Amino acid sequence: MSLLHPFSKKIIAWYQQNKRELPWRNTKDPYLIWLSEIILQQTRVEQGMAYYLKFAKEFPSVKELAKAENEKVMKLWQGLGYYSRARNLHTTAKTITDNYKGKFPEQHEDILLLKGVGEYTAAAIVSFAFNKPHAVVDGNVYRLLSRVFGIETPIDTTLGKKEFNALANELLDKKNPALHNQAIMEFGAIQCKPVSPDCSVCPLNTMCFAYSKKSVSKLPVKAKKTKVRNR
Ligand code: SF4
C-alpha cells in the first residue's frame, strides 16, 4: 500500500503522544531487541524491565552471553518462570557466536531458524533493528484488528493467523515498519485493552466496527480457550 490507511495515520499520531518510555525502544541493537522480546514472551512489561536491565548489564553482547556459565544465566533468570526461554537464550547466543561470528543475523529467514524464535519475534527483530517490512502480530494486534475491522475469524486457527497476518502486512507502513509495529502493539496494549477499553476517547472510534456494533466484548473470537501472548 503506497498511501497510508487512516487507521495507520491515527495509531502513529496516538503513539507519538502516548508511548511509554521503554529501554529497548532506544536501541537498534538486534541482540538487545531479541533479549527484550524473549523476556516479554510470557512476562508483563513491568516485571520484565528489571530482568532486561540486569541481563543487558551483565551480558552487553551476544558473545558475552554465549560464554557465560549456564548456571549464571539461569540464576539471573530466576523468578521469571518459563525457564526454557533462558535455556534457548543461552543456546541461541552460542549458535550466533559459532555460526555468525557473533554478529546477529539480519535475514528474516535466518532469524526464524533460531531456537525460541517464532514468527512474531522474528518480525519484531527485523523491523525494530533493521527497519524491514515485516508486520508483528501479537495478542494486542489480533484484538485491535479484529475489533476495528470486525473480523470474526478465530485468532487461534490457521485461517485466522493467515488472515490477521495478511491484514497487518497490508496496513504496515513499508517506509517506517519499526514505528508502525511499535504503534500498533502499543495501541492495543494501552488503548484497546482486553476488558472495558475507554472507547469514548479512542481516536479510532469513528472507524471501529466493534464500537459501532456494540460488540467490543465479543471480539476477538477464539476457537479454544487458549492463552494468546499479550503484552
Ligand atoms: S473504539 Fe474501542 S474497541 Fe475500537 S479500537 Fe478504540 S478502544 Fe478498541
pLDDT digits over 123-136, tens only?
Answer: 999 999 999 999 99
CATH fold of the domain at 6-19+135-218: Endonuclease Iii, domain 2 (1.10.1670)
Categorize the per-residue pLDDT at 224 as very low, low, confident or very high, splitting at 50, 70 and 90: confident
C-alpha cell of residue 229: 501472548
Residue 210 near ligand 1, beta carbon < 6 Å? yes
Q: To which CATH superfamily is domain 23-130 assigned?
A: Hypothetical protein; domain 2 (1.10.340.30)
DSSP-derived secondary structure for 206-222:
TT-HHHHTT-GGG-S--
pLDDT tens figures, 152-161: 999 999 999 9
Looking at every residue in the chain, the average pLDDT score rounds to 95
Closest among 216, 222, 126, 143 to 178, alpha carbons compared:
126
37 is catalytic: yes
The pLDDT of residue 226 is above 60:
no
* pLDDT tens string 92-126: 999 999 999 999 999 999 999 999 999 999 999 99
CB-based contact 211:203 (threshold 8 Å): no
Q: Which atom of ligand 1 is nearest to the CA of 197?
A: 7
Q: How far is CA 151 from CA 56, 74, 221, in A?
A: 39, 41, 8
Domain ranges of the chain: 6-19+135-218, 23-130
CA proximity to 84, closest of 49, 117, 51: 117
Q: What is the pTM (predicted TM-score) of this model?
A: 0.93
DSSP state of 200: G
Q: Is 197 in the pocket of ligand 1 (CB under 6 A)?
A: yes
The tens digit of pLDDT for each residue in 32-68 reads 999 999 999 888 999 999 999 999 999 999 999 999 9
